[in-house]
Structure 1
Amino acid sequence: MKHVRFHATTCLFTARALRDFGDGFVAVLLPVYLLALGLTPLEVGVISTASLLGSAFLTIGVGLLGARYGHRPLLLGAASLMIATGVAFAAIDAYALLLVVAFAGTINPSAGSVSVFVPLEHAALTSAVSDADRTKMFARYSLVGALAAAVGALVAGAPDLLARIGVDTLIAIKAMFILYALLGLIGGVFYARIPKRRPVRNARSASALGPSRGIVFRLAALFSFDAFAGGFVVQSLLALWLFERFDLSLAAAGVFFFCSGVLSAFSFPVAAWLSQRIGLINTMVFTHIPSSIALMLAAIAPTLPLALGLLLIRAALSQMDVPTRSSYVMAVVTETERAAAASFTAVPRSLAAAASPAMAGALFAASYQALPLLICGMLKIVYDLLLLTQFRNIRPPEES
């Protein structure tokens, strides 16, 4: 039994690494690619909004269907969609068609855990560990993904390097989208190796929320607020801000986002360690607030080195709530509700955030470049205070 669980976990971790590697370079290349096609900053923001909105609807669907059809076939379907998305972005130049592909596909402008894959992977992984080991497992899962995304961000500089030997930059970026599709194909091979799960007898009740509905809806409301705030500074838009505010090169942006991703990655095991001492909710809140302050200071930084330094401080703190949040949601619901709970609390990472990138794009177009970062930081601090007041007394089993 332990061997089967280890095998499933290894396959899921590997598939997550491949997927996040692709998301890492796509998030940096997306604004460069769209601007090269002649789109405006506002249109770049709208495409980011479309991708997040479409991801939200897909995530709702897989959360409801997870218990009925099992994790493996749905993950294979998502991997197929990733393949189609990469090929379509490489082949299409028209803005309207790109909007459709962004909405229906898996393109991820945030290079984070905003994905149709997330609720299925969370539910599958939680069943493989004990309550005591759950947060550590999510920390390792997040660490693997963040390191892969960091390497992906570094690889985003490849088109600039290829341009030095005569390769057209636009063609090189299109080739990166083909690589994204190939990663989806390889990830699908690993998803296919996940052991089949026994069918649920009462699939209808298992696919819906039950006794934990109230807690999940309250968490979803707060996560919606947090996601709306984060949507102002998704990674593609942060890259756009650096390009326009400081004229940062694509290669330099890749190095910066690599360093940022590495810092975020190694914050995950720290978060697991810290949560054992001060609790999951306290870890989420008291690491998040300083990161928001660093973001707001970066928005008004007069020089590039100072701005990048503050953004790196933010990166070292801002993602420490990722494994703790995932662990907390899985801890406060029953086993049969996990896929649905993961879906209904992951959806805000897309749905509520969907309006923000278009707003940020409009602010960029109106030359209010610092405002999206300031709005994001202020709203996130409000979210943290609300989370602390509402959930500090609702503890997971290992803290009782």
Structure 2
Amino acid sequence: MARGVEQPNYERKGRAADIYAARALRDFGDGFAAVLLPVYLAAIGLGPLEIGVVATVALLGSALLTLGIGFLAVHADRRTLLVAASGLMIATGLAYTQSSTYALVLLVAFVGTINPSSGSVSIFVPLEHAVLSRLVADADRTKAFARYSLLGALAAAFGALAATSPDFLVTIGMSRLTALKAMFVLYAVLGVAGGLIYARVPAGPKTSPQDRPAAALGPSRAIVYRLAALFSIDAFAGGFAVQSLMALWLFSKFGLSLSAAGMFFFWSGVLSAVSFPVAAWLSKRIGLVNTMVFTHIPSSICLILAALVPNLDVSLALLLVRAALSQMDVPTRSSYVMAVVTPPERPAAASVTSVPRSLAAAASPAIAGALFAAGFEAWPLVICGALKIFYDLALLWAFRHIKPPEER
């Protein structure tokens, strides 16, 4: 039974589709904006160091906004906050077109919605997770998050392809700078479309001030903090094998060509995306935690073996198997977090479990780079796999008895 206001099943499905559509529009915009942002900043005269600082400031701002909105949502209507976040998305796109000084760019990066990473830290995420959990029945929650993740991943991939649009606009007579600015205007337009969709989402149940919880995290605080700590270990481990470092490793060890690497990462992304609905199917049979753990461990073993085998074809095959398994915890993790906390705690729980992940993931690539520079090229992959296996076993041990409602 869905929590909150009772709605007919067809209406719940319809409103969940609104969240999917808004997520797809947003991720499409993020897909091209993340690629074009450094290009645009270079075009207005910023150097590599300044662009790096902008990226860091944007990541920090996204993290703080995500935490803040998660705790604010306990006292405000989530539909209203989603529409307001869309307004911030509109303002971000338009502000970048008018930002010509370094100080102004830093300000827009800090308070805006464009995140240069592909992580899940976004002002929209905790609100969408909470609303989606309210709009679907417990039995359908994981399947809903699988659709949510699948559509977001595919939209982001098409958004990355759309990042080539400025080249086309230049061929029809537009200046390169104007073409880049046009893409940020498109980002703002997507914010308008997303805001209109969010406005269709049903408002949450009305509560009187005395009925509202005193804190964003209450009875589930200990569970959320334990999950956040474990998820941070997983994210820290993942930072040793981010896509750019994997590409560097393939170039260095096997001399893989750029075109071959591009094709490999395309198919890796496709396999990861299609694994989301498989994860939802599997979780109905073995449970959410078991799905997270028993798909993750084989993927980590594949990564370790890929780092050690001397043959390119075997290594790529192992990495593709890993791609098909390693992201199956994405919808199941989101569903589990929403299931084991009370409905008022959901936005804060989504924030607290996602922000530390991104911060932890930012620390390990520098260590991996140092290992590469020292000649220990396989070590980052081996460390990543070993840490992830440790995380999986710790998660299984700590949460084996904490079941979501549909598994009780």
Among 174, 182, 187, the alignment partner of 1:175 is 182
Aligned position for 2:200? 193
Distance 1:383 1:11, change over 3 A: same
Q: Is residue 346 from structure 1 mapped to residue 354 from structure 2 by the alignment? A: yes
Q: Cα offset for 1:28?
A: 3.7
Matched residues in 1 for 2:381 and 2:179: separation?
31
| TM-score in terms of structure 1 length | 0.82
Q: Cα offset for 1:15?
A: 0.4
Distance 1:365 1:144, change over 3 A: same
> In structure 1, the residue corresponding to 2:230 is in which secondary structure?
helix
The Cα offsets for residues 221-270 of structure 1, whole Å up to 9 and x where unpaired, read as 112222334455666x5699599977847x985x7665444322211110
The Cα offsets for residues 79-110 of structure 1, whole Å up to 9 and x where unpaired, read as 12222222334444655544433332222233
Among 30, 51, 55, the alignment partner of 1:23 is 30
Q: Return 343-352 or 224-233, whichever deviates more.
A: 224-233
Unpaired runs of 5+ residues, structure 1, are none
Matched residues in 1 for 2:104 and 2:316: separation?
35
Matched residues in 1 for 2:13 and 2:342: separation?
23
User: Does the 8 Å CA contact 2:74/2:213 hold for their aligned counterparts?
Assistant: no
Output aligned runs, 1:240-251, within 5 Å: 248=258
- Counterpart amino acid of 1:124? V
Distance 1:13 1:313, change over 3 A: same
Q: Cα offset for 1:123?
A: 0.9
> In structure 1, the residue corresponding to 2:135 is in which secondary structure?
coil
> In structure 1, the residue corresponding to 2:345 is in which secondary structure?
helix
Q: Is residue 85 from structure 1 mapped to residue 92 from structure 2 by the alignment? A: yes
Among 119, 138, 142, the alignment partner of 2:126 is 119
Aligned position for 1:281? 289
Q: Is residue 335 from structure 1 mapped to residue 343 from structure 2 by the alignment? A: yes
Distance 1:9 1:309, change over 3 A: same
Aligned position for 1:69? 76
- Name the % identity: 66
Q: Is residue 100 from structure 1 mapped to residue 107 from structure 2 by the alignment? A: yes
> In structure 2, the residue corresponding to 1:67 is in which secondary structure?
coil
Among 183, 206, 230, the alignment partner of 1:222 is 230
- Counterpart amino acid of 1:287? T
Q: Cα offset for 1:219?
A: 0.5
Output aligned runs, 1:3-22, within 5 Å: 3-22=10-29
Distance 1:84 1:299, change over 3 A: farther
- Counterpart amino acid of 2:61? G
Matched residues in 2 for 1:90 and 1:336: separation?
38
The Cα offsets for residues 320-355 of structure 1, whole Å up to 9 and x where unpaired, read as 111100111111112222222222222223343454
Q: Cα offset for 1:75?
A: 0.7
User: Does the 8 Å CA contact 2:58/2:115 hold for their aligned counterparts?
Assistant: yes
> In structure 1, the residue corresponding to 2:218 is in which secondary structure?
coil
Matched residues in 1 for 2:74 and 2:240: separation?
34
User: Does the 8 Å CA contact 1:151/1:258 hold for their aligned counterparts?
Assistant: no
Aligned position for 1:147? 154
| TM-score in terms of structure 2 length | 0.80
Unpaired runs of 5+ residues, structure 2, are 1-6
Aligned position for 2:393? 385
User: Does the 8 Å CA contact 2:25/2:194 hold for their aligned counterparts?
Assistant: yes
Q: Cα offset for 1:399?
A: 2.1
Q: Return 178-187 or 202-211, whichever deviates more.
A: 202-211
Distance 1:290 1:95, change over 3 A: farther
Please report the RMSD computed on the Cα atoms of aligned residues, expressed in angstroms: 3.9
User: Does the 8 Å CA contact 1:24/1:148 hold for their aligned counterparts?
Assistant: yes
User: Does the 8 Å CA contact 2:66/2:121 hold for their aligned counterparts?
Assistant: no
Aligned position for 2:333? 325
Q: Cα offset for 1:35?
A: 6.2
- Counterpart amino acid of 1:104? V
- Counterpart amino acid of 1:338? R
Q: Cα offset for 1:29?
A: 3.8
Q: Is residue 135 from structure 1 mapped to residue 174 from structure 2 by the alignment? A: no
Output aligned runs, 1:37-56, within 5 Å: 39-40=47-48, 46-56=53-63
User: Does the 8 Å CA contact 1:299/1:373 hold for their aligned counterparts?
Assistant: yes
The Cα offsets for residues 190-216 of structure 1, whole Å up to 9 and x where unpaired, read as 111222223322365165222211111
Matched residues in 2 for 1:329 and 1:145: separation?
19
> In structure 2, the residue corresponding to 1:205 is in which secondary structure?
coil
The Cα offsets for residues 99-129 of structure 1, whole Å up to 9 and x where unpaired, read as 4333322222333432111111111111122
Q: Cα offset for 1:387?
A: 1.6
Among 276, 279, 298, the alignment partner of 1:271 is 279
User: Does the 8 Å CA contact 1:49/1:357 hold for their aligned counterparts?
Assistant: no
> In structure 1, the residue corresponding to 2:75 is in which secondary structure?
helix
User: Does the 8 Å CA contact 2:292/2:328 hold for their aligned counterparts?
Assistant: yes
Q: Cα offset for 1:53?
A: 2.2
Q: Return 122-131 or 355-364, whichever deviates more.
A: 355-364
**Alignment coverage as a number of residue pairs:** 396
The Cα offsets for residues 129-180 of structure 1, whole Å up to 9 and x where unpaired, read as 2222111111111122122122222223334555667766565444333322
User: Does the 8 Å CA contact 2:119/2:358 hold for their aligned counterparts?
Assistant: no
Matched residues in 2 for 1:306 and 1:239: separation?
15
Distance 1:247 1:182, change over 3 A: farther
Q: Cα offset for 1:282?
A: 1.9
